[in-house]
Amino acid sequence: MSRKFIFFCVFLTSGSLILLLVNSLADMQIIANIWLKICLFMGLAGILLGIDLRIFLDESRANSIISKLIVLSITILILLVMSEVAVRIAFRGITTTADDTSYFALRWNWFNVRFNKLQFREREFDIAKADSIYRIAIIGDSFAYGQGIPIAERFSNLIGTYLEAKRCSVACEVLNFGRSGAETVDHLEILNSIVLKTRPDFVLLQWFVNDVEGHDKSGRPGSMTLAPSDELHAKLQSASALYFLVSLQWYALQEALGWAGSYSDYISRRFSDPQCLDSQESNRALKQFIQSCQDNDIRMGIVLFPDVVGDLNANYPFAFLHERVIAICDEESTLYVDLRDPFSKEKEYRKLWVNQFDRHPSSLANRLAADCIIEKFKSIWLAGAGCADGDLASDVTE
């Protein structure tokens, strides 16, 4: 038994080494390197174990230990597979997760997300706008993109449905330029390089608290992963629902023990001083966005989404960021909608989440946002689209 075990481990090790060499020389990988490295580690460990057992124990004792280890390994493997299947069945209704790299998120994205030629989650449209179209462009991050919800339930599409029902002399077209992970600096780039070419009549910027960070996230609090390497962690995170759930508990434990800092503390340290360089750069990017719209004679507005983690009133940790954006809006004579108040009225705030693993806005949150946005900007949109007097008057006086 021990000889056969050692022979198998030698075969596993040599096979892994050969495939790693082939992968390094070929243009495409036959098997992902991370799995080959795991096999290589297991093979080497098995060889060392087998040799040690044969050196320090007699043949029968070594065979007995190896047999028990094989049975134990097979039992653990079966339990892991059964647990993985059980987790996938139990949480089959989960769409996305906060970081959008988990098994759940990748599965949902594969079946539900399609991009147009401009790489936005939006239908195809003519970049050259006809005079018979009143075009509204919505720029934002994953909140505008609609992470975890169907396209039809995004606030941009709900706005479009509302406007389509009105009797206007020109067609109203609402286009979503949301891009997951985009910051204010990215919104400015999207506006200048793509959106302005579509000649929008109105631009709505969707803002969230992490938009102030920019591309430098080196100071973000980090947590230790369960896997010993980032590469292995990424593979397991994307392939295993069980690993994702266990990782969540591991991160929560680290934060509870003070091993990892909180995101709100990080934001406060970095941006609480309005005169610091990071705050000034964030403000500058937002002002440049507004200025770019003004330079092109495009009316615009901003909708501010809060981070729904509980109290959105006195104890809301990101209130100072909202107030800073509002001050810029007042300074630049820009209309805005702050969703803190309407969202705070929802007693069961978790209903505003996509699901228990993802705090992105749910369908309900998007409906509330759409109602508030429409209420704020409908008179501008309906007048710009040449709405019939009856519709316009009724909407303005509602």
**Residue 30 confidence (pLDDT):** 46
**Residue 257 confidence (pLDDT):** 87
Q: Which residue bears the tokens 């981070």?
A: 307
**Residue 398 confidence (pLDDT):** 42
Q: For each of the domains in the chain, give its residue range(s) and CATH number, in order of start.
A: 2-90 (no CATH), 103-217+262-396 (3.40.50.1110)
**Residue 152 confidence (pLDDT):** 97
**Residue 231 confidence (pLDDT):** 80
- pLDDT tens digits, one per residue of 373-398: 999 999 999 999 988 654 554 554 34
**Residue 24 confidence (pLDDT):** 59
**Residue 9 confidence (pLDDT):** 58
pTM (predicted TM-score)? 0.84
**Residue 202 confidence (pLDDT):** 98
Bridge partners (DSSP) of residue 299 are 202
Q: Which residues of the chain have pLDDT under 50?
A: 7, 11, 30-31, 390, 393, 396-398
